[in-house]
Amino acid sequence: MTRAPIQILGAGLTGMSAAHHLGGDCEIHERLAAPGGHAITLQERGYRFDRTGHLLHLRDPDIRRWVEQLLPGRLIEVQRRSMVFSQGVYTRYPYQANTYGLPPTTAHECLMGFLQARERAARTPEPADFEQFCLKHFGDGFSRHFMIPYNQKLWGVHPREISPDWCSRFVPLPQLDDVIAGAVGLNDRELGYNRNFLYPRSGIAELSEALCASLPVAPRFEHAPRAIDHGRRVLHFDDGDVPYQRLISSAPLDRLVDLLQAPPAEVSRAAASLRCTPLWYLDVALERPSGIDMHWVYVPEARFPFYRVGCYSNFSAEMAPPGKACLYVELASRQQPDMDTLLPQVTAGLIEMGIIEAPGDIAFATPRRIDHAYVIYDHSYQASVAIIEAFLEQHGIISTGRYGGWNYSSMEDALIFGRQAAARAREQKP
């Protein structure tokens, strides 16, 4: 049988976008039984849960048009409603431009720290890590009350271990005006990269399913190679070998290297040094509407076992049965939760935040794990990825996507990575 010259690993958004842009002449192999990768929606007892919040921020006009064509009449356009909960009060997001409402001593510490940081900015060296980035741009108070504890909970490692490379796009840097206006409650300007988003009415899986149904070739599900002979350009599956001229892989980069047959030691070493934290979170079904009308809330304090709580049914009413609600609760600990201990702590936190009134409001809470959640941009990150990518390129392998390219990126990026990979695969000589 003649095989397509381009083989694709993974039917997440990256792999499916690559197949779409290739328009045929390719085959897709997906390890799991359904498309979507991280962009899926699970259903339990009439409630719908994504793999935590998956909102679409679309800036590329072609990608936006494409997504709208895939989901005609199904996308809700939503203005972000996000808050921070700390020291017993809600303040607006981002914390650094909204200190109004915080205890006055905290607000004072944040403002003074910010002003002092500005004053010494010209004499402060370029930050070598994310902690230094926070101290340089936000000052001591904002760093101590929000940036450091929140990011430690989110990434699962101290910001000192993270290089500042990733943050310029994702961390909103406030202007002096914003900080002052936000301190006196005058900030009516939403900051940050995710002010507006699109969301499919019945969850993000709608996008993955529509994209899959539109592909020129159907993915082969539950079909992952057990090894890759990169020298001969052959994928070894349990049911036979598949040769390729070019391979586009959206499998996590460290796992891809594990599949290669005897790669050079420096490539194995580089792959072994890549770090990525898993994530445990809870799907929480409520018997009644949530007590807050927000989309999600950031929770920086260490006394709460979670760092963010979001409400799917506030994105779209179709996510929960009428009169009920569903939440995601993202946990700070990377260990498998002991629900007997954890659930009472989570329940107490949700009651304190006014999201539920009593433990009986929770219909059920299911713990879930994402193996690869946050790639750690540590200090050896760039060099390691460069070594692996150079080697793969010599062998006709394009490793791309959030985990294939080993980065912190969005669903729109995944669709763009797929488009770029298709163009590169076409250009590369076998």
> What tokens appear for 105 in the block?
């001593």
Supply the minimum distance, in Å, between the C-beta of residue 89 and ligand FAD: 25
Give whichever of 134 and 373 is closer to ligand FAD, judged by the CB atom: 373
Long-range Cβ contacts of 356-362 (<8 Å, 24+ apart): 356/286, 356/290, 356/291, 357/291, 360/287, 361/286, 361/287, 361/288, 362/284, 362/285, 362/286, 362/287
Give whichever of 183 and 207 is closer to ligand FAD, judged by the CB atom: 207
Residue 52 in the binding site for ligand FAD (CB under 6 A): yes
Classify burial at 217, counting beta carbons within 10 Å of its beta carbon; exposed 0-12, middle 13-18, buried 19 or more.
middle
Supply the minimum distance, in Å, between the C-beta of residue 104 and ligand FAD: 34
Supply the minimum distance, in Å, between the C-beta of residue 124 and ligand FAD: 32
Give whichever of 248 and 320 is closer to ligand FAD, judged by the CB atom: 248
The Cα–Cα gap between 72 and 260 comes to: 42
Give whichever of 130 and 403 is closer to ligand FAD, judged by the CB atom: 403
> What does DSSP assign to residue 143?
I
Which one of 7, 91, 163, 410 is in contact with ligand FAD (CB under 6 A)? 410
Which one of 22, 373, 388, 425 is in contact with ligand FAD (CB under 6 A)? 373
Report the largest interatomic distance among the alpha carbons of the chain, rounded to a whole angstrom.
73
Binding segment (CB under 6 A) for ligand FAD, from list 109-117, 292-300, 352-360, 396-404:
396-404
Contact 357, 325 (CB under 8 A): no
Residues 30-49 that bind ligand FAD (CB under 6 A): 30-32, 37-39
Binding segment (CB under 6 A) for ligand FAD, from list 28-36, 153-161, 266-274, 308-316:
28-36
Contact 339, 345 (CB under 8 A): no
Give whichever of 14 and 384 is closer to ligand FAD, judged by the CB atom: 14
CA of 358: how far to CAs of 15, 313, 315, in Å? 44, 19, 23
Which one of 6, 9, 18, 416 is in contact with ligand FAD (CB under 6 A)? 9
Which one of 117, 411, 416, 422 is in contact with ligand FAD (CB under 6 A)? 411
Residue 409 in the binding site for ligand FAD (CB under 6 A): yes
User: From residue 281 to residue 320, what is the string marking binding to ligand FAD with x (rule CB under 6 A)?
Assistant: ----------------------------------------
Supply the minimum distance, in Å, between the C-beta of residue 228 and ligand FAD: 9
Which one of 42, 173, 351, 370 is in contact with ligand FAD (CB under 6 A)? 370
Residues 269-288 that bind ligand FAD (CB under 6 A): 279
Residue 155's H or E segment, with its range, is: helix 148-155
Which one of 12, 164, 172, 310 is in contact with ligand FAD (CB under 6 A)? 12
Please work out the total of residues on this chain that contact ligand FAD, with binding judged by CB under 6 A: 35
- Give the side-chain half-sphere CA count within 13 A for 21: 24
Supply the minimum distance, in Å, between the C-beta of residue 202 and ligand FAD: 16
Q: Starting at the edge strand that comes first in sequence, how are the strands of the sheet with 276-286 ordered? A: 89-92, 82-86, 296-298, 306-311, 325-331, 276-286, 362-375
CA of 297: how far to CAs of 26, 64, 145, in Å? 42, 27, 15
Handedness of CA 317, 321, 322, 324 (dihedral sign): negative
| Dihedral, CA of residue 13, residue 164, residue 306 and residue 406, to nearest 10 | 30
Binding segment (CB under 6 A) for ligand FAD, from list 76-84, 146-154, 267-275, 403-411:
403-411
Binding segment (CB under 6 A) for ligand FAD, from list 29-37, 98-106, 319-327, 359-367:
29-37
Residues 187-246 that bind ligand FAD (CB under 6 A): 224
Buried-state track 114-153, b at ≥16 Cβ within 10 A, e below 16: beebeeeeeeeeebebbbbbbbbbbbbbbbbbbbbbbbbb
Binding segment (CB under 6 A) for ligand FAD, from list 13-21, 86-94, 286-294, 313-321:
13-21
CA of 222: how far to CAs of 19, 123, 204, 233, in Å? 18, 56, 21, 21
Contact 346, 282 (CB under 8 A): yes
Supply the minimum distance, in Å, between the C-beta of residue 373 and ligand FAD: 4
The Cα–Cα gap between 4 and 242 comes to: 9
The Cα–Cα gap between 31 and 226 comes to: 11
Binding positions for ligand FAD, rule: CB under 6 A: 9-15, 29-32, 37-39, 52-57, 224, 250-251, 255, 279, 370, 373, 401-403, 409-412, 414
